[in-house]
Chains A and B, each alone.
Chain A
Amino acid sequence: MTRYITGILFIASLFIFSCSDSDGPEIQENEPFDRSQMLSSWADHFIIPGFESYAGELDELVSAKDAFIANPDVVSLNSLKSAWLDAYKSWQKVSMFDIGKAEEIGLRNFTNIYPADTDLINENITSGNFNLALPSNFDAQGFPALDYLLYGLSPDDSEIVTMLSQTNHAQYLDALIERLRTLGNEILNDWKGNYRDQFIQNDGSSATASVDKLVNDFLFYYEKYLRAGKIGIPAGVFSGGPISNSVEAPYSGIFSKDLFNIAFQSVQDFFNGRGYNGISGNSLDDYLKFTSNVNGTRDIASEIQSQWKSAEAKIEVLLPNFRDQVEQDNIKMLEAYDELQKAVVLLKVEMMQALNIRVDFVDADGD
């Protein structure tokens, strides 16, 4: 009998060790929802083309910067501004993909932390001695710092040209833009190297599997950067009164709504599986429809989509410059926030439950 019991325990432990942490690909023939296909669609129709276009825009930005530094005048400043805006817009489409190299190096922190710390920027320019890799310089670089340099140094463009022509200013401008390109290329090259396959093969169900991680990133982006960062914080949702200079791109002024709309559209496209170049694939909406068929819970996908439609309606009426909006009629801004907020509840409560993805990142035990 003892032998029998030791036998059972032995076989049991073999079984456990052979299948614990089995994150590797286990292709099932009658797999009902193909998560790895969804992952390839995310990689090939969203993330990689997104970073490709972002890197392309950064190349343009670098050329415009070089042209400006070689020949600083109002014309070259204007083409630099427009290259900056194009790159900033294409950033809005990839910001949510904080996974892999982007997560490792903290891409978002070096790219779009706002409001920019203008005192720190000026200090860096004056001293000429700065290290952009330091966390203390998060808010002295990236698109927000460029917004300040290109639009905020003076109300007069020719004055800006004069200031940016000074050695230290030009050096800082150069460093900021080169750094954006270096980081952007680093991410793109990683995706084009091994990371794409690694990402797709990690199609399991653990907390570190690609689907679970990217859905968490998506949710975190929506809640913190889109809902709170672009709308909630300027509207004073977390402070009791509007903070008008915390809108995105406050110095250029007129772009905050544009940038928001692109980001919001990207969030919806990702959820609905509408990729670059009009290629569609399975995404969260299909996955939710699948789980709702499996366990009889309601179809939450259409509810999320219609909630976003209501949010769009509230956003449509806002002024192009959110700074004007919160200063003139903050109620409308708060109303837009409320509609975005309602979707958080649906995403964070019901979507995560339906997909059985854990919101917490601590991989602790349950019982």
Chain B
Amino acid sequence: MTRARQYFNRHTKTAPLAVFRILFGSLMVISLIRFWVHGWIEDLYINPKFHFHYYGFEFVEVPGQWTYLLFVLCGISALGIALGYKYRVSAILFFLSFTYIELMDKTTYLNHYYFISVVAFTLIWLPSHVFYSVDAKRDPTLTAEFIPQWNIDILKLLLAIVYIYAGAAKLNADWLLNAMPLAIWLPSKFDIPLLGSLMHERWVHYFFSWAGAIYDLTIVGFLLYRRTRIFAFTLVVIFHILTRVLFPIGMFPYIMICSTLIFFSPGFHERLLNYLGILIKVPLSIFQNGKLHYTLSTSFGRIGRPVLIALVVIQVLFPWRYLLYPGNLFWTEQGYRFSWRVMLVEKTGYANFKIVNGETGRRFYVQNEDFLTAFQQKQMATQVDFIIEYAHYLGNHFTSQGHEHVEVYVESFASLNGRPTQAYIDPEIDLMKVKDSWVHKTYILPLNE
């Protein structure tokens, strides 16, 4: 206990947290603008007639044209984070608006969006604005050159969880023994510069698979240790740029590259801020007041510590919930999300829904494109919770159209990591009679290896 107390009393410079805040906020602004410019607000949220909800968040709806306002709000609050302007309000608004956007349709689920929500939530409770921020400049009493060490360490810990869990998830037969799914993905990248001609070589698939797993598992160790830090950071840059070149993963590589700077020393971050200070004519020295920000001196800080400890505990435990379910995780996807399983699975599927009148046996098939976008169809066909929600939507839709005794069945097929196509959901189950829940879904047909 005393060692814990000692740890929580340790302090360090605020500079790394300030740099993290500035980079994170700026990248978020860029991400949101990029999202808007690509037309994804319409394509992914406004245009689809139907949206897939997260379990427990069925109340979250796309607010029509107001969605643009939601993105504006999100962007302004991200800017507020970057500037450290009205920081707490900005951080709270950013977390809420960004998370709301993500909850609007789980078709777009990505681990890195989840990562952003986790970091945004964490930032609410951290005093990132007490150094090199608009808030601190306007209110010198807020300024603090030093903060508790754990305020920085928690970000390192969250990053460590991402990397190590992503690495652990790669320790499976498909990845290590068959180089799957990279063996499917890489050959189609024949057109990248320099490496293109190697992409169809079998050994390259294995090399990338094993190197990726080793990288994920060990990189945090090398970043923590001062003497290997530069080497490790070089690897971080190479690794994430390769992933950027090979796969369409948007802003994620930049977010990870910038985030790992948190492992560098306070001196490094002060130099960065010094350069920035020269550039924007706000000298770093006006914030260097030698004061320590006592997290526990504010009510925010007092609540913050237990809240963040709880967050870390959840982060550590939640990804293991898949162990409670039988079957191949990649096939059933029960307990798959929110666990840093990135780029592990190539799964394509096809789901054909049959609407049956339970009395007369009269039946017809649904044309999915009447209800779903191509992207939604693709995500729906391989994930059981999507299939159930969509089946209920179809059942209710056709009932409201005057069809009677509506039963909904699905003939679905999927192929996982290059295995031959096989039936996915039991075609004899009336999906109107099942509900999504945390309980194991017995109607997922077992994967034939």
Q: Is the CB of A345 within 8 A of B197?
A: no
Q: Is the CB of B183 within 8 A of A294?
A: yes
**A291 cross-chain contacts in B, Cβ below 8 A:** 187
Q: Is the CB of A295 within 8 A of B183?
A: yes
B233 smallest CB distance to A (angstroms): 7
Q: Is A362 an interface residue (CB 8 A)?
A: yes
**B364 cross-chain contacts in A, Cβ below 8 A:** 236-240
**B375 cross-chain contacts in A, Cβ below 8 A:** 360-362, 364
**Complex partner residue of B197 from A15, A29, A35, A367, CB under 8 angstroms:** A29
**Complex partner residue of A365 from B110, B189, B197, B349, CB under 8 angstroms:** B110
**A35 cross-chain contacts in B, Cβ below 8 A:** 190
**B366 cross-chain contacts in A, Cβ below 8 A:** 238
Q: Is B178 an interface residue (CB 8 A)?
A: yes
Q: 0/1 per residue, B366-391, Cβ < 8 Å to A?
A: 11010001110110000000000000
Number of A-B contacts (CB under 8 A): 170
B132 smallest CB distance to A (angstroms): 16
Q: Which of A85-93, A95-103, A187-195, A347-355 contacts B (4 or more CB under 8 A)?
A: A347-355
Contacts A2-B271, A362-B43, A366-B247: A240 and B363 contacting too (C-beta < 8 A)? yes
**B306 cross-chain contacts in A, Cβ below 8 A:** none
How large, as a class, is the contact surface on chain B? 35 or more
| Complex CA–CA separation, A364 to B343 (angstroms) | 15
Q: Is the CB of B241 within 8 A of A28?
A: no
**Complex partner residue of B365 from A22, A224, A238, A355, CB under 8 angstroms:** A238
| Complex CA–CA separation, A33 to B190 (angstroms) | 9
Contacts A341-B352, A353-B346, A364-B44: A19 and B192 contacting too (C-beta < 8 A)? yes
**B189 cross-chain contacts in A, Cβ below 8 A:** 205
Q: Which of A5-13, A67-75, A113-121, A128-136 contacts B (4 or more CB under 8 A)?
A: A5-13
**A104 cross-chain contacts in B, Cβ below 8 A:** none
**Complex partner residue of A22 from B191, B342, B377, CB under 8 angstroms:** B191
**B44 cross-chain contacts in A, Cβ below 8 A:** 362, 364
Q: Is the CB of B374 within 8 A of A359?
A: yes
| Complex CA–CA separation, A327 to B280 (angstroms) | 79
Contacts A18-B193, A205-B191, A367-B342: A356 and B233 contacting too (C-beta < 8 A)? no
Q: 0/1 per residue, A293-306, Cβ < 8 Å to B?
A: 01111100000000
Q: Is B234 an interface residue (CB 8 A)?
A: yes
**Complex partner residue of B249 from A237, A240, A354, A365, CB under 8 angstroms:** A365
| Complex CA–CA separation, A22 to B264 (angstroms) | 34
| Complex CA–CA separation, A362 to B352 (angstroms) | 21
| Complex CA–CA separation, A1 to B265 (angstroms) | 11
Q: Which of A331-358 contact B (CB under 8 A)?
A: 341, 344-346, 348-350, 352-358
Q: Is B252 an interface residue (CB 8 A)?
A: yes
Nearest residue in A to B229 (C-beta to C-beta)? A1
Q: 0/1 per residue, B168-207, Cβ < 8 Å to A?
A: 0000000000111001110111111100110010100100
| Complex CA–CA separation, A26 to B110 (angstroms) | 31
B284 smallest CB distance to A (angstroms): 14
| Complex CA–CA separation, A364 to B35 (angstroms) | 9
Q: Is the CB of B241 within 8 A of A15?
A: yes
Q: Which of B137-145, B294-302, B316-324, B414-422 contacts A (4 or more CB under 8 A)?
A: B414-422
B105 smallest CB distance to A (angstroms): 11
Q: Is the CB of A9 within 8 A of B271?
A: no
Q: 0/1 per residue, B242-261, Cβ < 8 Å to A?
A: 00110111111000010001
Contacts A12-B237, A362-B375: A296 and B183 contacting too (C-beta < 8 A)? yes
| Complex CA–CA separation, A140 to B347 (angstroms) | 42
Q: Is the CB of A349 within 8 A of B414?
A: yes
Nearest residue in A to B187 (C-beta to C-beta)? A294
Interface centre among A1, A224, A367 (most CB of B within 10 A): A367
Q: Which of A25-71 contact B (CB under 8 A)?
A: 26, 28-33, 35
Contacts A362-B374, A365-B250, A367-B110: A349 and B348 contacting too (C-beta < 8 A)? yes
Q: Is the CB of A349 within 8 A of B248?
A: no
Q: Is A285 an interface residue (CB 8 A)?
A: no
Q: Is the CB of B191 within 8 A of A16?
A: no
Nearest residue in A to B366 (C-beta to C-beta)? A238
Nearest residue in A to B185 (C-beta to C-beta)? A356
Q: Is the CB of B418 within 8 A of A31?
A: no
Q: Is the CB of A356 within 8 A of B188?
A: yes
Q: Is the CB of A344 within 8 A of B350?
A: yes
Q: Which of A229-268 contact B (CB under 8 A)?
A: 232, 236-241
Q: Is the CB of A350 within 8 A of B420?
A: yes
Q: 0/1 per residue, A215-239, Cβ < 8 Å to B?
A: 0000000001000100010001111
Q: Is A204 an interface residue (CB 8 A)?
A: yes
Nearest residue in B to A30 (C-beta to C-beta)? B197
B238 smallest CB distance to A (angstroms): 8
**A360 cross-chain contacts in B, Cβ below 8 A:** 373-375, 377-378
| Complex CA–CA separation, A296 to B413 (angstroms) | 21
Contacts A2-B271, A29-B197: A297 and B244 contacting too (C-beta < 8 A)? no
Query: Number of contacting residues on A, CB 8 A?
Result: 63
A9 smallest CB distance to B (angstroms): 7
Q: Is B10 an interface residue (CB 8 A)?
A: no
Q: Is B111 an interface residue (CB 8 A)?
A: yes
Q: Is B5 an interface residue (CB 8 A)?
A: no
Q: Is A156 an interface residue (CB 8 A)?
A: no
**A358 cross-chain contacts in B, Cβ below 8 A:** 378
Contacts A294-B202, A367-B112: A228 and B348 contacting too (C-beta < 8 A)? no
Q: Is B433 an interface residue (CB 8 A)?
A: no
**B374 cross-chain contacts in A, Cβ below 8 A:** 359-362
**Complex partner residue of A366 from B110, B352, B367, CB under 8 angstroms:** B110
Q: Is B362 an interface residue (CB 8 A)?
A: yes
**B421 cross-chain contacts in A, Cβ below 8 A:** 345-346, 349-350
Q: Is the CB of A349 within 8 A of B415?
A: yes
Q: Is the CB of B348 within 8 A of A359?
A: yes
Q: Is A139 an interface residue (CB 8 A)?
A: no
Q: Which of B393-433 contact A (CB under 8 A)?
A: 413-415, 418, 420-421
| Complex CA–CA separation, A348 to B272 (angstroms) | 51
B21 smallest CB distance to A (angstroms): 19
| Complex CA–CA separation, A357 to B421 (angstroms) | 17
**B33 cross-chain contacts in A, Cβ below 8 A:** none
**A349 cross-chain contacts in B, Cβ below 8 A:** 348-350, 413-415, 421
Q: Is the CB of B192 within 8 A of A363?
A: no
Q: Is the CB of B352 within 8 A of A296?
A: no
Q: Is the CB of A352 within 8 A of B348?
A: yes
| Complex CA–CA separation, A353 to B381 (angstroms) | 14
**B237 cross-chain contacts in A, Cβ below 8 A:** 8-9, 12
**A232 cross-chain contacts in B, Cβ below 8 A:** 365
**B363 cross-chain contacts in A, Cβ below 8 A:** 240
12 A-B pairs (CB sep. < 8 Å): A2-B268, A12-B257, A19-B193, A32-B200, A228-B367, A238-B365, A291-B187, A295-B179, A356-B187, A359-B348, A364-B248, A367-B111
The 9 A-B pairs with the shortest beta carbon distances in the complex, nearest first, are A365-B250, A295-B183, A356-B188, A240-B364, A360-B375, A297-B418, A360-B374, A367-B110, A28-B197
Binding site for A on B (CB under 8 A): 38, 40, 43-44, 108, 110-112, 178-180, 183-185, 187-193, 196-197, 200, 202, 205, 230, 233-234, 237, 241, 244-245, 247-252, 257, 261, 264, 268, 271-272, 275, 342-343, 346, 348-350, 352, 355, 357, 362-367, 369, 373-375, 377-378, 413-415, 418, 420-421
